[in-house]
Structure 1
Amino acid sequence: MSALVICGAPAAGMPGAPSRLVDPDSPAVRATDSGLLRGDGVFETVGIHGGRLHDLEPHLERLAQSAAMLDLPTPDLGVFREAVATAAHALLADFAEPPATAMCKIVYTRGEEHAPPPGRPTGFVLAEPFPDVSHDRAEGVSAVVLNRGYPRGVGEQAPWLLAGAKTLSYAVNMAALRHAHARGAKDAILVTTDGYVLEAPRSSVLVRVGQRVVTPAVEGGLLHGTAQRAAFASLEAHGFACEYRDVHIEELTEADSVWLTDSVQLMRPVRELDRRELPIDAALTATVNEDLLSHP
């Protein structure tokens, strides 16, 4: 089951037909679309938990930020907001009871590869259920450390690499996950060539040391996680000090807890890193996830 909405005019000021709900098996983009051919576009994934969209506005804001980094025409966030609501409603209408976890993927590309300026961007929203992740949230996941292939600070030194933008060019991220699976792990934590923690292929990394929880500084060219921000708010409400700073790889194995956070799977503890067991605070993890699920 899924629901697909094609945005008729996804760019601000762009003329076009209204957005429309279509058969999810129908074509969504042309074969000459630069998002398909070159990964020249951006996306966001919004979690739907218990039938409710979570943190939609931060995702739309980040979509606009990523689009600006790619010099894409400014997206019409009102069009995407309405498309998300339509797709989510259509998906949930197919269920007697809302699925525990679903997601809404927002996609915005440059459109036709050789379209004359200002071009004609493509936009669509796809909503679909997500597999049950309650076991991973409770019991944790295994992960391996993988080298991302560039040093700390590359986002500032080489902005054309688009570090910190959520682009459709996810081949490296998916290759990292496949490599982790081949090594018997569920996920991966990416690090710089000089030993600093970045993020997981689809999640932010949180590290607890005593009563302090840290995550790598976004100034290093990282995606600013929406679920990570919500987790920080919950942790601070429960008495933890939260901080953005550089995190060295050695801190992972010395930490009291390590988590991966994202908008769909929420907060998952890392129970094993490179075959080395890490401590899990099941009670704290459950508390934060309850807060995330109750937060619209």
Structure 2
Amino acid sequence: MRTTPIIAVLESAGPRLVPVETPLLRADDMGLTRGEGAFETMHVRNNAAWLLDEHLDRLERSLSRLHIPAPERSALTELVRVAIAGWGDTEAGVKIIVTKGAEFGGIGPFVYAVVFPVPEIFTATRRHGVRLASLSWGFPVLARERAPWLLGGVKSLSYAANMAALREAAHRGMGDVLLMSADDYVLEAPTASVVWQRGASLFTTPTETGILAGTTAAYLFTNAAEIGLTAGYELISRAELIAADGAWLCSSVRGIVPIVEIDASPLPIGSSNAAIQELVGFPM
């Protein structure tokens, strides 16, 4: 199985593969110095990026909110194709990064893709689940709807707070984070959507809260009827989530991961877990 990442850079003449150790960014690139940029990460299966169009749609929405020109859709599609062509048959992740470009000199945006192996911990958590620490995001549930400059729903490069939350969870001996609003509503995880089951229905948090609209969760909801479930959106408290019939983290490369504990409170693995896993098709 390949373990060395593959890097492809989008240039005016088209995508070009470069050695992984090649320096790419200028020292004044605003994606590096200010976090001004956006990215998308996709699962690679059967030598193709899964849900590519949906991810590129979201990338374009993020770039629009950041006032960064979006590359042509055909150029991004070709960039992904070139990047993953040499990976092989095993699953992988592919990340597209678009930075705002150089602060001095007007060069930008800068666009590249990275193909990387799926960590073993991801496949393990698909099977065994994950334990979450609940942490406050510090603002009321609808604050970002009233303050668009907080960039709710934008997958920007500014992920330092997300990573800090994950470090705090690890410090507490937990595997991930349940991000909560200041008024005790479930939002999302730092790198995943939260989905829960009640009876024969699946739910997730509405995007009006400023969460990132999850592509994997959207696929699950669009196709839920195939496994006898309905799907909808609602606000839910931490206590209500713990009392659900099952709950999952949904992310683009990790896949569907059962939540088995929140702050020392156990959760059952939902009765629909096997059907959900089969529907989304991540290797177990």
TM-score, length-normalised on structure 1?
A: 0.90
Alignment partner of 1:219: what SS? helix
Aligned 1:148-159 pairs, distance under 5 A:
148-159=137-148
Deviation at 1:114, TM superposition (A): 2.6
Question: Pick from 163, 171, 182: which aligns with 2:152?
Answer: 163
Alignment partner of 1:19: what SS? strand
Alignment partner of 1:24: what SS? coil
- The CA RMSD measured in Å over matched residues stands at 1.4
Aligned 1:219-234 pairs, distance under 5 A:
219-234=208-223
Deviation at 1:239, TM superposition (A): 1.6
The amino acid across from 1:113 in the alignment is: E
**Which contiguous aligned blocks of 4+ residues in structure 1 show a shift greater than 6 angstroms?**
none
Distance 1:229 1:136 in 2: 21
User: Is 1:6 matched up with 2:2?
Assistant: no
**Paired residue total:** 278
Alignment partner of 1:207: what SS? strand
Question: Pick from 250, 258, 266: which aligns with 2:247?
Answer: 258
The amino acid across from 1:255 in the alignment is: A
Alignment partner of 2:39: what SS? strand
Deviation at 1:50, TM superposition (A): 4.9
User: Is 1:68 matched up with 2:64?
Assistant: yes
Residues 278/66 of structure 1: CA separation in 2 closer, same or farther (3 Å cut): same
User: Is 1:129 matched up with 2:117?
Assistant: yes
User: Is 1:111 matched up with 2:84?
Assistant: no
Aligned 1:20-31 pairs, distance under 5 A:
20-31=16-27
Aligned 1:177-256 pairs, distance under 5 A:
177-256=166-245
Note the alpha carbon deviations across 1:92-121, whole angstroms, 9 max, x for none. Answer: 2xxxxx22x3100000011001334xx521
Residue 278 of structure 2 is matched in structure 1 by: 290
Distance 2:5 2:70 in 1: 27
Alignment partner of 2:119: what SS? coil
Structure 2 segments unaligned to the other structure (5+ residues): none
TM-score, length-normalised on structure 2?
A: 0.94
Maintained 8 Å contact 1:46/1:263: yes
Identity rate of aligned residues, in percent?
Answer: 36
Residue 36 of structure 2 is matched in structure 1 by: 40
Distance 2:115 2:266 in 1: 36
The amino acid across from 1:76 in the alignment is: E
Distance 2:119 2:256 in 1: 15
Alignment partner of 1:223: what SS? coil
